[in-house]
A and B are shown apart, each in its own frame.
Chain A
Amino acid sequence: MRSIADQIPIADGLFTWPSNDPRLLGSKCADCGVVTFPAQSGCPACCGEDTEAIELERKGKLWTWTIQGFLPNRPPYEGPETPETFKPFGVGYVELPNQVRVETRIQTEDIAKLRIGMEMDLVVEKFIERDGKDIIAYFFRPADES
Protein backbone atom coordinates (compact mmCIF):
# COMPACT_ATOMS: atom_id res chain seq x y z
CA MET A 1 0.00 0.00 0.00
CA ARG A 2 1.39 3.36 -0.98
CA SER A 3 1.35 6.32 1.35
CA ILE A 4 -1.48 8.80 0.95
CA ALA A 5 0.97 11.23 -0.64
CA ASP A 6 1.47 8.80 -3.53
CA GLN A 7 -2.26 8.41 -4.17
CA ILE A 8 -3.62 11.11 -6.44
CA PRO A 9 -7.33 11.53 -7.28
CA ILE A 10 -8.10 11.31 -11.02
CA ALA A 11 -9.64 14.80 -10.73
CA ASP A 12 -9.99 17.35 -7.96
CA GLY A 13 -13.38 17.73 -6.37
CA LEU A 14 -14.93 14.44 -7.56
CA PHE A 15 -14.76 12.75 -4.14
CA THR A 16 -13.46 13.43 -0.64
CA TRP A 17 -9.79 12.53 -0.47
CA PRO A 18 -7.81 11.53 1.49
CA SER A 19 -10.45 9.72 3.51
CA ASN A 20 -11.14 6.35 5.14
CA ASP A 21 -14.76 6.65 4.05
CA PRO A 22 -14.63 8.59 0.78
CA ARG A 23 -17.82 10.11 -0.65
CA LEU A 24 -18.65 11.50 -4.06
CA LEU A 25 -19.04 15.27 -4.06
CA GLY A 26 -22.05 16.86 -5.73
CA SER A 27 -23.81 20.17 -5.50
CA LYS A 28 -27.29 21.09 -4.38
CA CYS A 29 -29.26 24.09 -5.61
CA ALA A 30 -30.14 26.45 -2.76
CA ASP A 31 -33.33 27.47 -4.58
CA CYS A 32 -34.87 24.26 -5.94
CA GLY A 33 -32.87 21.53 -4.16
CA VAL A 34 -31.80 19.71 -7.32
CA VAL A 35 -28.57 17.70 -6.92
CA THR A 36 -25.91 17.37 -9.63
CA PHE A 37 -22.70 15.37 -9.95
CA PRO A 38 -19.96 16.53 -10.28
CA ALA A 39 -20.50 19.76 -8.35
CA GLN A 40 -21.26 22.75 -10.57
CA SER A 41 -21.84 26.44 -10.07
CA GLY A 42 -25.22 26.80 -11.82
CA CYS A 43 -28.43 24.81 -11.47
CA PRO A 44 -29.47 22.96 -14.65
CA ALA A 45 -33.09 22.78 -13.47
CA CYS A 46 -34.01 26.31 -12.34
CA CYS A 47 -31.06 28.28 -13.80
CA GLY A 48 -30.19 29.52 -10.29
CA GLU A 49 -26.59 30.39 -9.50
CA ASP A 50 -26.56 29.55 -5.79
CA THR A 51 -25.37 25.97 -5.23
CA GLU A 52 -23.63 24.33 -2.26
CA ALA A 53 -21.28 21.34 -2.21
CA ILE A 54 -22.67 18.19 -0.63
CA GLU A 55 -21.43 14.64 -0.01
CA LEU A 56 -23.46 12.02 -1.87
CA GLU A 57 -24.85 8.70 -0.57
CA ARG A 58 -22.48 5.74 -0.93
CA LYS A 59 -25.19 3.17 -1.64
CA GLY A 60 -27.70 3.07 -4.46
CA LYS A 61 -29.45 0.93 -7.07
CA LEU A 62 -28.34 0.21 -10.63
CA TRP A 63 -30.73 2.18 -12.90
CA THR A 64 -29.30 1.04 -16.23
CA TRP A 65 -26.06 -0.50 -17.48
CA THR A 66 -24.06 -1.68 -20.45
CA ILE A 67 -20.83 -3.53 -21.05
CA GLN A 68 -18.02 -1.78 -22.88
CA GLY A 69 -17.05 -4.57 -25.26
CA PHE A 70 -14.00 -3.10 -27.01
CA LEU A 71 -10.84 -1.29 -25.90
CA PRO A 72 -11.69 2.45 -25.96
CA ASN A 73 -9.59 4.75 -28.19
CA ARG A 74 -6.47 6.35 -26.70
CA PRO A 75 -6.52 9.22 -26.26
CA PRO A 76 -8.61 9.86 -24.34
CA TYR A 77 -8.65 6.44 -22.57
CA GLU A 78 -5.89 5.90 -20.01
CA GLY A 79 -6.78 2.44 -18.66
CA PRO A 80 -3.92 -0.05 -18.26
CA GLU A 81 -5.17 -2.70 -20.71
CA THR A 82 -3.61 -3.72 -24.03
CA PRO A 83 -5.64 -5.22 -26.89
CA GLU A 84 -4.41 -8.61 -25.60
CA THR A 85 -5.34 -8.10 -21.94
CA PHE A 86 -8.56 -6.10 -22.42
CA LYS A 87 -11.64 -7.52 -20.75
CA PRO A 88 -15.10 -5.98 -21.25
CA PHE A 89 -16.11 -3.76 -18.32
CA GLY A 90 -19.42 -2.54 -16.96
CA VAL A 91 -20.70 1.05 -17.08
CA GLY A 92 -23.97 2.22 -15.60
CA TYR A 93 -26.01 4.80 -13.75
CA VAL A 94 -26.49 4.24 -10.03
CA GLU A 95 -29.48 5.96 -8.46
CA LEU A 96 -28.56 7.47 -5.09
CA PRO A 97 -31.73 7.77 -3.01
CA ASN A 98 -33.33 11.24 -3.14
CA GLN A 99 -30.22 12.71 -4.79
CA VAL A 100 -29.16 11.95 -8.34
CA ARG A 101 -28.18 9.16 -10.74
CA VAL A 102 -24.41 8.98 -11.12
CA GLU A 103 -22.64 7.56 -14.17
CA THR A 104 -19.93 5.13 -13.15
CA ARG A 105 -17.71 2.28 -14.14
CA ILE A 106 -18.76 -0.94 -12.45
CA GLN A 107 -16.28 -3.24 -10.68
CA THR A 108 -17.50 -6.81 -10.55
CA GLU A 109 -16.19 -10.35 -10.63
CA ASP A 110 -18.97 -11.31 -13.05
CA ILE A 111 -20.37 -8.84 -15.58
CA ALA A 112 -23.04 -11.40 -16.57
CA LYS A 113 -24.86 -10.79 -13.31
CA LEU A 114 -25.59 -7.07 -13.87
CA ARG A 115 -29.31 -6.35 -13.50
CA ILE A 116 -31.37 -3.19 -13.27
CA GLY A 117 -32.32 -2.60 -9.64
CA MET A 118 -29.36 -4.40 -8.02
CA GLU A 119 -27.83 -2.84 -4.90
CA MET A 120 -24.50 -1.08 -5.48
CA ASP A 121 -21.80 0.36 -3.20
CA LEU A 122 -19.28 3.11 -3.88
CA VAL A 123 -15.62 2.13 -3.99
CA VAL A 124 -12.73 4.54 -4.38
CA GLU A 125 -9.55 2.79 -5.46
CA LYS A 126 -6.58 2.68 -7.78
CA PHE A 127 -7.34 2.98 -11.50
CA ILE A 128 -3.84 3.24 -12.99
CA GLU A 129 -0.27 4.06 -12.08
CA ARG A 130 1.24 7.24 -13.51
CA ASP A 131 4.72 8.67 -12.78
CA GLY A 132 5.19 6.35 -9.81
CA LYS A 133 1.92 7.36 -8.17
CA ASP A 134 -1.46 5.64 -7.95
CA ILE A 135 -4.27 7.46 -9.72
CA ILE A 136 -7.41 6.98 -7.61
CA ALA A 137 -10.90 6.91 -9.16
CA TYR A 138 -14.44 6.04 -8.09
CA PHE A 139 -16.38 2.95 -9.10
CA PHE A 140 -19.51 1.16 -7.94
CA ARG A 141 -19.57 -2.54 -7.09
CA PRO A 142 -22.50 -4.92 -6.53
CA ALA A 143 -23.28 -4.81 -2.78
CA ASP A 144 -23.01 -8.62 -2.50
CA GLU A 145 -19.32 -8.38 -3.47
CA SER A 146 -18.45 -5.74 -0.87
Chain B
Amino acid sequence: MDVAIIGIGIHPFGRTEGVTGLEQGVHAAREALKDVGLDWNDMEFAYGGSSAAGNADSMVSKLGLTGLQFINVSNGCATGGSALQSAYMAIQSGMFDIGMAVGFDKHPRGAFTVNPEASGLGKWYGDIGMALTPQFFGMKIQRYMHEYDISEDTLIRVAVKNFRNGAKNPNAWRRNGFSYDDVAQSQMVCHPLRKYMFCSPAEGGCAMILCRADKAKQFTSNPVFLKAVAVKTRQFGSFEVFSQSQALERAPAPTVQASTAAFEMAGIGPEDIDVAQLQDTESGAEIMHMAENGFCADGDQEKWLHEGYTEIDGKLPVNTDGGCLANGEPVGASGLRQVYEICLQLRGEAGERQVPNSPKTGYTHVYGAPGLSGVTIMAA
Protein backbone atom coordinates (compact mmCIF):
# COMPACT_ATOMS: atom_id res chain seq x y z
CA MET B 1 0.00 0.00 0.00
CA ASP B 2 1.65 3.26 -1.10
CA VAL B 3 1.11 6.40 0.95
CA ALA B 4 0.51 9.99 -0.15
CA ILE B 5 0.70 13.35 1.62
CA ILE B 6 -2.42 15.25 0.61
CA GLY B 7 -2.52 18.19 3.03
CA ILE B 8 0.15 20.30 4.72
CA GLY B 9 -0.02 23.00 7.39
CA ILE B 10 2.42 25.09 9.36
CA HIS B 11 2.50 27.64 12.16
CA PRO B 12 5.31 30.16 11.56
CA PHE B 13 8.56 29.22 13.30
CA GLY B 14 10.44 31.48 15.68
CA ARG B 15 9.00 33.21 18.73
CA THR B 16 5.26 33.78 19.10
CA GLU B 17 4.54 35.42 22.44
CA GLY B 18 1.23 34.51 24.03
CA VAL B 19 0.62 31.40 21.92
CA THR B 20 1.38 28.03 23.52
CA GLY B 21 3.20 25.31 21.64
CA LEU B 22 0.03 23.23 21.68
CA GLU B 23 -1.96 26.07 20.10
CA GLN B 24 0.69 26.32 17.39
CA GLY B 25 0.18 22.60 16.74
CA VAL B 26 -3.59 23.08 16.55
CA HIS B 27 -3.09 25.95 14.09
CA ALA B 28 -0.87 23.75 11.89
CA ALA B 29 -3.41 20.90 12.03
CA ARG B 30 -6.24 23.21 10.92
CA GLU B 31 -4.07 24.63 8.13
CA ALA B 32 -3.35 21.10 6.87
CA LEU B 33 -7.08 20.23 6.89
CA LYS B 34 -7.89 23.47 5.07
CA ASP B 35 -5.13 22.76 2.52
CA VAL B 36 -6.90 19.59 1.36
CA GLY B 37 -10.46 20.63 2.20
CA LEU B 38 -11.15 18.00 4.87
CA ASP B 39 -12.48 18.15 8.43
CA TRP B 40 -10.93 16.90 11.67
CA ASN B 41 -13.66 14.26 11.91
CA ASP B 42 -12.43 12.79 8.60
CA MET B 43 -9.22 11.77 10.39
CA GLU B 44 -9.12 8.10 11.45
CA PHE B 45 -5.92 8.45 13.46
CA ALA B 46 -3.17 10.88 14.46
CA TYR B 47 0.42 10.59 15.63
CA GLY B 48 1.85 13.67 17.29
CA GLY B 49 4.65 14.86 19.50
CA SER B 50 6.45 17.67 21.23
CA SER B 51 9.50 17.56 23.46
CA ALA B 52 8.84 20.58 25.69
CA ALA B 53 5.29 21.81 25.04
CA GLY B 54 3.01 19.12 26.41
CA ASN B 55 1.16 16.03 25.26
CA ALA B 56 0.12 16.18 21.63
CA ASP B 57 -3.04 14.18 22.23
CA SER B 58 -4.44 17.01 24.32
CA MET B 59 -4.97 18.80 20.97
CA VAL B 60 -8.20 16.83 20.62
CA SER B 61 -9.96 19.02 23.18
CA LYS B 62 -9.48 21.95 20.76
CA LEU B 63 -9.79 20.13 17.43
CA GLY B 64 -12.78 18.07 18.50
CA LEU B 65 -13.43 14.96 20.56
CA THR B 66 -14.10 12.59 17.68
CA GLY B 67 -12.79 9.47 19.39
CA LEU B 68 -9.99 8.88 16.89
CA GLN B 69 -6.85 6.89 17.72
CA PHE B 70 -4.27 9.48 18.83
CA ILE B 71 -0.80 8.27 19.83
CA ASN B 72 1.87 10.52 21.36
CA VAL B 73 5.35 10.20 19.90
CA SER B 74 8.49 11.10 21.85
CA ASN B 75 11.74 10.40 20.01
CA GLY B 76 14.17 13.23 20.68
CA CYS B 77 15.08 15.30 17.66
CA ALA B 78 13.42 12.72 15.39
CA THR B 79 10.01 13.21 17.06
CA GLY B 80 8.39 14.78 13.97
CA GLY B 81 10.04 12.29 11.62
CA SER B 82 8.93 9.43 13.86
CA ALA B 83 5.32 10.71 13.91
CA LEU B 84 5.40 10.72 10.12
CA GLN B 85 6.88 7.24 9.99
CA SER B 86 4.22 5.96 12.39
CA ALA B 87 1.46 7.48 10.24
CA TYR B 88 3.07 5.96 7.17
CA MET B 89 3.08 2.50 8.78
CA ALA B 90 -0.52 2.87 9.95
CA ILE B 91 -1.66 3.35 6.37
CA GLN B 92 0.88 1.08 4.73
CA SER B 93 -0.25 -1.80 6.94
CA GLY B 94 -3.78 -1.42 5.59
CA MET B 95 -5.23 -0.65 9.02
CA PHE B 96 -6.28 2.93 8.20
CA ASP B 97 -7.00 4.95 5.06
CA ILE B 98 -6.37 8.50 6.23
CA GLY B 99 -4.85 10.32 9.21
CA MET B 100 -2.52 13.02 10.50
CA ALA B 101 1.08 13.44 11.66
CA VAL B 102 1.63 16.57 13.74
CA GLY B 103 4.46 18.09 15.76
CA PHE B 104 4.98 21.31 17.68
CA ASP B 105 7.22 22.80 20.34
CA LYS B 106 8.05 25.84 22.40
CA HIS B 107 11.48 25.87 24.07
CA PRO B 108 12.88 28.40 26.53
CA ARG B 109 15.52 30.77 25.17
CA GLY B 110 19.21 29.83 25.22
CA ALA B 111 20.96 26.49 24.83
CA PHE B 112 18.94 23.33 25.50
CA THR B 113 19.13 22.29 29.16
CA VAL B 114 19.86 18.61 29.48
CA ASN B 115 19.11 16.22 32.32
CA PRO B 116 22.01 13.74 32.01
CA GLU B 117 20.31 11.07 34.10
CA ALA B 118 17.29 10.97 31.76
CA SER B 119 19.76 10.12 28.98
CA GLY B 120 21.33 7.24 30.90
CA LEU B 121 24.41 9.25 31.92
CA GLY B 122 25.88 9.88 35.37
CA LYS B 123 24.86 13.06 37.16
CA TRP B 124 28.57 13.99 37.26
CA TYR B 125 28.54 14.44 33.46
CA GLY B 126 26.27 17.47 33.82
CA ASP B 127 27.93 18.69 37.05
CA ILE B 128 31.27 19.03 35.31
CA GLY B 129 29.98 20.82 32.21
CA MET B 130 29.94 18.21 29.46
CA ALA B 131 26.18 17.71 28.95
CA LEU B 132 25.97 20.31 26.18
CA THR B 133 25.06 19.39 22.61
CA PRO B 134 27.08 22.28 21.05
CA GLN B 135 30.28 20.67 22.39
CA PHE B 136 29.53 17.47 20.46
CA PHE B 137 28.89 19.34 17.23
CA GLY B 138 32.12 21.32 17.72
CA MET B 139 34.13 18.16 18.36
CA LYS B 140 32.61 16.18 15.48
CA ILE B 141 33.24 18.86 12.84
CA GLN B 142 36.68 19.62 14.33
CA ARG B 143 37.73 16.02 13.64
CA TYR B 144 36.00 16.00 10.24
CA MET B 145 37.76 19.21 9.15
CA HIS B 146 41.07 17.67 10.23
CA GLU B 147 40.49 14.44 8.31
CA TYR B 148 38.98 15.88 5.13
CA ASP B 149 40.56 19.31 4.92
CA ILE B 150 37.38 21.37 5.23
CA SER B 151 37.96 25.10 5.75
CA GLU B 152 36.22 27.64 7.98
CA ASP B 153 35.19 29.40 4.76
CA THR B 154 32.96 26.43 3.92
CA LEU B 155 31.35 26.52 7.37
CA ILE B 156 30.53 30.19 6.85
CA ARG B 157 29.16 29.61 3.33
CA VAL B 158 26.63 27.06 4.62
CA ALA B 159 25.27 29.52 7.18
CA VAL B 160 25.10 32.41 4.72
CA LYS B 161 23.23 30.24 2.19
CA ASN B 162 20.65 29.08 4.74
CA PHE B 163 20.03 32.59 6.06
CA ARG B 164 19.70 33.84 2.47
CA ASN B 165 17.10 31.13 1.78
CA GLY B 166 15.33 31.88 5.05
CA ALA B 167 14.94 35.51 4.03
CA LYS B 168 12.73 34.23 1.17
CA ASN B 169 10.54 32.14 3.48
CA PRO B 170 7.62 33.96 5.14
CA ASN B 171 7.37 31.24 7.82
CA ALA B 172 11.06 31.40 8.78
CA TRP B 173 12.32 32.98 12.00
CA ARG B 174 15.62 34.65 11.07
CA ARG B 175 14.84 36.50 7.88
CA ASN B 176 17.47 39.23 7.89
CA GLY B 177 19.96 37.26 5.76
CA PHE B 178 23.17 37.47 7.82
CA SER B 179 26.15 38.37 5.63
CA TYR B 180 29.43 36.48 5.33
CA ASP B 181 31.06 38.96 7.70
CA ASP B 182 28.17 38.73 10.21
CA VAL B 183 28.74 34.98 10.44
CA ALA B 184 32.56 35.12 10.31
CA GLN B 185 32.74 37.69 13.09
CA SER B 186 30.05 36.31 15.38
CA GLN B 187 31.03 35.03 18.81
CA MET B 188 32.88 31.70 19.05
CA VAL B 189 30.48 29.30 20.82
CA CYS B 190 32.18 25.90 20.60
CA HIS B 191 35.30 26.06 18.46
CA PRO B 192 35.27 26.00 15.41
CA LEU B 193 31.56 26.89 15.46
CA ARG B 194 30.37 30.46 15.89
CA LYS B 195 27.05 31.87 17.07
CA TYR B 196 25.52 32.35 13.61
CA MET B 197 26.58 28.86 12.55
CA PHE B 198 24.19 27.38 15.14
CA CYS B 199 20.43 27.09 15.13
CA SER B 200 18.61 28.10 18.32
CA PRO B 201 15.83 26.39 20.21
CA ALA B 202 12.55 27.96 19.03
CA GLU B 203 8.81 27.49 18.55
CA GLY B 204 6.58 26.28 15.77
CA GLY B 205 4.13 23.65 14.59
CA CYS B 206 3.67 21.54 11.49
CA ALA B 207 1.12 18.96 10.35
CA MET B 208 0.59 16.57 7.41
CA ILE B 209 -2.43 14.62 6.27
CA LEU B 210 -1.60 11.23 4.80
CA CYS B 211 -3.80 8.76 2.95
CA ARG B 212 -3.69 5.61 0.82
CA ALA B 213 -2.02 6.54 -2.45
CA ASP B 214 -4.81 4.97 -4.49
CA LYS B 215 -7.32 7.33 -2.90
CA ALA B 216 -5.18 10.47 -3.03
CA LYS B 217 -6.66 11.84 -6.24
CA GLN B 218 -10.12 11.82 -4.65
CA PHE B 219 -8.93 14.57 -2.33
CA THR B 220 -6.33 16.58 -4.23
CA SER B 221 -4.88 17.12 -7.67
CA ASN B 222 -1.32 17.42 -6.38
CA PRO B 223 -0.48 14.60 -3.94
CA VAL B 224 3.10 13.98 -2.93
CA PHE B 225 4.01 10.31 -2.57
CA LEU B 226 6.12 8.98 0.29
CA LYS B 227 8.52 6.60 -1.42
CA ALA B 228 10.55 5.75 1.68
CA VAL B 229 10.65 6.42 5.41
CA ALA B 230 13.47 5.13 7.65
CA VAL B 231 14.51 5.78 11.26
CA LYS B 232 17.77 4.29 12.62
CA THR B 233 19.67 4.53 15.91
CA ARG B 234 23.41 4.51 16.50
CA GLN B 235 25.50 1.39 16.19
CA PHE B 236 28.70 0.52 18.02
CA GLY B 237 31.59 2.71 16.87
CA SER B 238 29.74 5.75 15.55
CA PHE B 239 30.59 9.14 17.10
CA GLU B 240 27.46 10.40 18.83
CA VAL B 241 26.30 13.17 21.11
CA PHE B 242 26.57 12.47 24.88
CA SER B 243 29.13 9.68 24.63
CA GLN B 244 31.28 9.49 27.75
CA SER B 245 33.61 7.31 25.72
CA GLN B 246 33.97 6.24 22.13
CA ALA B 247 35.14 2.98 20.64
CA LEU B 248 38.50 2.85 18.86
CA GLU B 249 36.86 1.15 15.89
CA ARG B 250 34.62 3.39 13.81
CA ALA B 251 31.25 2.61 12.29
CA PRO B 252 28.99 4.59 9.95
CA ALA B 253 26.69 7.17 11.55
CA PRO B 254 22.96 6.37 11.97
CA THR B 255 22.35 8.81 9.11
CA VAL B 256 24.29 6.53 6.75
CA GLN B 257 22.12 3.58 7.78
CA ALA B 258 18.84 5.51 7.50
CA SER B 259 19.84 6.96 4.14
CA THR B 260 20.93 3.61 2.72
CA ALA B 261 17.70 1.96 3.90
CA ALA B 262 15.58 4.76 2.43
CA PHE B 263 17.28 4.70 -0.99
CA GLU B 264 16.90 0.92 -1.10
CA MET B 265 13.20 1.20 -0.22
CA ALA B 266 12.61 3.90 -2.86
CA GLY B 267 14.62 2.10 -5.51
CA ILE B 268 16.50 5.23 -6.51
CA GLY B 269 19.90 6.74 -5.64
CA PRO B 270 21.26 10.08 -4.41
CA GLU B 271 21.85 11.25 -7.99
CA ASP B 272 18.08 11.04 -8.59
CA ILE B 273 17.16 13.59 -5.88
CA ASP B 274 16.18 17.09 -7.07
CA VAL B 275 15.94 18.92 -3.72
CA ALA B 276 17.00 18.02 -0.15
CA GLN B 277 16.49 19.18 3.41
CA LEU B 278 19.42 18.04 5.60
CA GLN B 279 19.68 18.52 9.37
CA ASP B 280 21.70 21.69 9.92
CA THR B 281 21.78 21.99 13.70
CA GLU B 282 24.91 23.95 12.84
CA SER B 283 26.74 24.49 9.58
CA GLY B 284 29.19 21.65 10.21
CA ALA B 285 26.28 19.23 10.49
CA GLU B 286 24.99 20.15 7.02
CA ILE B 287 28.49 19.58 5.61
CA MET B 288 28.89 16.15 7.21
CA HIS B 289 25.31 15.17 6.40
CA MET B 290 25.84 15.89 2.68
CA ALA B 291 28.33 13.02 2.68
CA GLU B 292 26.56 10.78 5.23
CA ASN B 293 23.41 10.88 3.08
CA GLY B 294 25.41 9.85 0.03
CA PHE B 295 25.17 13.08 -1.97
CA CYS B 296 28.94 13.69 -2.17
CA ALA B 297 32.22 12.12 -1.06
CA ASP B 298 33.86 13.17 2.21
CA GLY B 299 35.87 16.29 1.48
CA ASP B 300 33.99 17.28 -1.69
CA GLN B 301 31.86 19.71 0.31
CA GLU B 302 34.63 22.26 -0.06
CA LYS B 303 34.06 22.31 -3.82
CA TRP B 304 30.26 21.98 -3.57
CA LEU B 305 29.89 25.05 -1.38
CA HIS B 306 32.43 27.06 -3.33
CA GLU B 307 30.69 26.27 -6.64
CA GLY B 308 27.20 26.88 -5.23
CA TYR B 309 25.93 23.33 -5.95
CA THR B 310 23.60 23.48 -2.92
CA GLU B 311 22.06 26.87 -3.77
CA ILE B 312 18.40 27.02 -4.88
CA ASP B 313 19.51 27.07 -8.54
CA GLY B 314 22.37 24.57 -7.99
CA LYS B 315 22.54 20.90 -8.92
CA LEU B 316 21.27 19.79 -5.48
CA PRO B 317 19.51 22.60 -3.58
CA VAL B 318 19.85 21.97 0.18
CA ASN B 319 17.71 23.58 2.90
CA THR B 320 15.72 25.77 0.54
CA ASP B 321 13.51 27.04 3.39
CA GLY B 322 16.52 28.19 5.40
CA GLY B 323 16.88 24.96 7.37
CA CYS B 324 17.19 24.86 11.14
CA LEU B 325 19.58 27.81 10.98
CA ALA B 326 16.91 30.23 9.74
CA ASN B 327 13.87 28.48 11.24
CA GLY B 328 15.24 27.56 14.65
CA GLU B 329 14.63 24.19 16.21
CA PRO B 330 11.30 23.38 17.82
CA VAL B 331 12.25 19.73 18.29
CA GLY B 332 8.79 18.21 17.80
CA ALA B 333 8.10 20.16 14.59
CA SER B 334 11.49 20.32 12.91
CA GLY B 335 11.38 17.07 10.93
CA LEU B 336 7.87 17.82 9.66
CA ARG B 337 8.95 21.31 8.55
CA GLN B 338 11.43 19.64 6.22
CA VAL B 339 8.68 17.49 4.74
CA TYR B 340 6.40 20.54 4.43
CA GLU B 341 9.08 22.33 2.41
CA ILE B 342 9.64 19.38 0.08
CA CYS B 343 5.87 19.15 -0.52
CA LEU B 344 5.79 22.85 -1.43
CA GLN B 345 8.76 22.40 -3.78
CA LEU B 346 7.27 19.34 -5.51
CA ARG B 347 3.90 21.09 -5.80
CA GLY B 348 5.63 24.13 -7.32
CA GLU B 349 4.30 26.39 -4.57
CA ALA B 350 7.55 27.55 -2.94
CA GLY B 351 7.28 31.09 -4.30
CA GLU B 352 10.45 33.16 -4.26
CA ARG B 353 12.53 30.17 -3.22
CA GLN B 354 11.05 27.70 -5.75
CA VAL B 355 13.66 25.33 -7.19
CA PRO B 356 13.59 25.78 -10.99
CA ASN B 357 12.58 23.14 -13.59
CA SER B 358 9.77 21.47 -11.61
CA PRO B 359 11.61 19.19 -9.16
CA LYS B 360 10.13 15.67 -9.09
CA THR B 361 11.93 14.04 -6.14
CA GLY B 362 12.76 15.32 -2.66
CA TYR B 363 14.66 14.12 0.40
CA THR B 364 14.52 14.97 4.11
CA HIS B 365 16.93 14.07 6.91
CA VAL B 366 16.89 14.69 10.66
CA TYR B 367 19.60 13.84 13.16
CA GLY B 368 19.62 14.30 16.91
CA ALA B 369 20.27 13.14 20.42
CA PRO B 370 21.06 10.48 21.47
CA GLY B 371 22.24 9.37 18.04
CA LEU B 372 19.28 8.75 15.79
CA SER B 373 18.36 9.72 12.28
CA GLY B 374 15.22 9.79 10.16
CA VAL B 375 15.10 9.99 6.36
CA THR B 376 12.20 10.31 3.92
CA ILE B 377 12.13 10.25 0.15
CA MET B 378 9.21 11.82 -1.69
CA ALA B 379 8.07 12.08 -5.29
CA ALA B 380 5.52 14.24 -7.06
Residues on the A chain within 8 Å of B244, using CB: 37-38, 102-103
Q: Which residues of B, 68-124, contact A by the 8 Å Cβ criterion?
A: 110-111, 113-116, 122-124
Residues on the B chain within 8 Å of A18, using CB: none
A68 touches B246 (CB 8 A): no
Evaluate whether A38 and B122 lie within 8 angstroms (CB atoms) in the complex, with A76-B131, A77-B127, A101-B245 already known.
yes
B116 touches A76 (CB 8 A): yes
Residues on the A chain within 8 Å of B191, using CB: 65-67, 69
Residues on the A chain within 8 Å of B143, using CB: 63-64, 116
Taken together as a complex, chains A and B put the C-alpha atoms of A34 and B248 apart, in Å, by 9
A10 touches B127 (CB 8 A): yes
B139 touches A65 (CB 8 A): yes
Q: How far is the CB of A115 from chain B (nearest CB, A)?
A: 9
Candidates A36, A45, A75, A78; contact of B245 at CB < 8 Å:
A36
A11 touches B123 (CB 8 A): yes
Q: How many residues of B are in contact with the other chain, CB < 8 A? A: 38
Evaluate whether A116 and B135 lie within 8 angstroms (CB atoms) in the complex, with A70-B111, A76-B114 already known.
no
Q: Does B305 contact A (CB under 8 A)?
A: no
Taken together as a complex, chains A and B put the C-alpha atoms of A102 and B143 apart, in Å, by 15
B132 touches A44 (CB 8 A): no
Taken together as a complex, chains A and B put the C-alpha atoms of A116 and B191 apart, in Å, by 13
Q: How far is the CB of B188 from chain A (nearest CB, A)?
A: 5
B248 touches A105 (CB 8 A): no
Candidates A38, A66, A78, A100; contact of B127 at CB < 8 Å:
A78
Candidates A66, A73, A75; contact of B135 at CB < 8 Å:
A66
Q: Does A91 contact B (CB under 8 A)?
A: yes
B126 touches A67 (CB 8 A): no
Q: Does B129 contact A (CB under 8 A)?
A: yes
Q: Which residues of A, 46-78, contact B by the 8 Å Cβ criterion?
A: 63-70, 72-73, 75-78
Residues on the B chain within 8 Å of A137, using CB: 124, 128
Q: Which residues of B, 166-203, contact A by the 8 Å Cβ criterion?
A: 187-193
Residues on the B chain within 8 Å of A14, using CB: 122, 124
Candidates B115, B237, B248; contact of A76 at CB < 8 Å:
B115
Residues on the B chain within 8 Å of A45, using CB: 236-237, 247
Evaluate whether A37 and B123 lie within 8 angstroms (CB atoms) in the complex, with A65-B139, A66-B138, A68-B135 already known.
no
Q: How far is the CB of A113 from chain B (nearest CB, A)?
A: 12
B126 touches A26 (CB 8 A): no
Q: Does B140 contact A (CB under 8 A)?
A: yes
Evaluate whether A69 and B187 lie within 8 angstroms (CB atoms) in the complex, with A102-B245, A103-B244 already known.
yes
Q: How far is the CB of A34 from chain B (nearest CB, A)?
A: 7
Q: Which residues of A, 75-109, contact B by the 8 Å Cβ criterion?
A: 75-79, 88-89, 91-93, 95, 98-103, 105
Q: Does A127 contact B (CB under 8 A)?
A: yes
Q: Which residues of B, 52-66, contact A by the 8 Å Cβ criterion?
A: none
Q: How far is the CB of A24 from chain B (nearest CB, A)?
A: 9
What per-residue 1/0 map shows which CB atoms of B215-257 lie under 8 Å from chain A?
0000000000000000000001100000111111000000000
Taken together as a complex, chains A and B put the C-alpha atoms of A89 and B123 apart, in Å, by 20
Residues on the A chain within 8 Å of B110, using CB: 73
Evaluate whether A66 and B139 lie within 8 angstroms (CB atoms) in the complex, with A73-B110, A77-B126, A105-B128 already known.
yes
Evaluate whether A73 and B111 lie within 8 angstroms (CB atoms) in the complex, with A11-B124, A116-B143 already known.
yes
Q: How far is the CB of B302 from chain A (nearest CB, A)?
A: 19
What per-residue 1/0 map shows which CB atoms of B142-184 lie under 8 Å from chain A?
1100100000000000000000000000000000000000000
Q: Which residues of A, 21-46, contact B by the 8 Å Cβ criterion?
A: 26, 34, 36-38, 44-45
Q: Which of chain B's residues has its CB closest to A105's CB?
A: B128
Evaluate whether A116 and B146 lie within 8 angstroms (CB atoms) in the complex, with A37-B245, A76-B126, A137-B128 already known.
yes
Q: Which of chain A's residues has its CB closest to B113's CB?
A: A73
Candidates B111, B115, B142, B246; contact of A66 at CB < 8 Å:
B142
Evaluate whether A101 and B246 lie within 8 angstroms (CB atoms) in the complex, with A69-B187, A69-B191 already known.
yes
Residues on the B chain within 8 Å of A101, using CB: 245-248
Taken together as a complex, chains A and B put the C-alpha atoms of A101 and B139 apart, in Å, by 13
Residues on the B chain within 8 Å of A92, using CB: 139
Residues on the B chain within 8 Å of A75, using CB: 113, 126
Residues on the B chain within 8 Å of A10, using CB: 124, 127-128
A and B contact pairs by CB, cutoff 8 A, 18 listed: A11-B123, A34-B236, A38-B244, A65-B142, A66-B190, A69-B187, A73-B110, A76-B113, A76-B123, A79-B128, A92-B139, A93-B246, A95-B248, A100-B245, A100-B248, A103-B130, A103-B246, A137-B124
Q: Considering the complex of A and B, which 6 residue pairs feature the smallest CB-CB distances, nearest first?
A: A76-B126, A66-B138, A37-B245, A64-B143, A11-B124, A101-B246
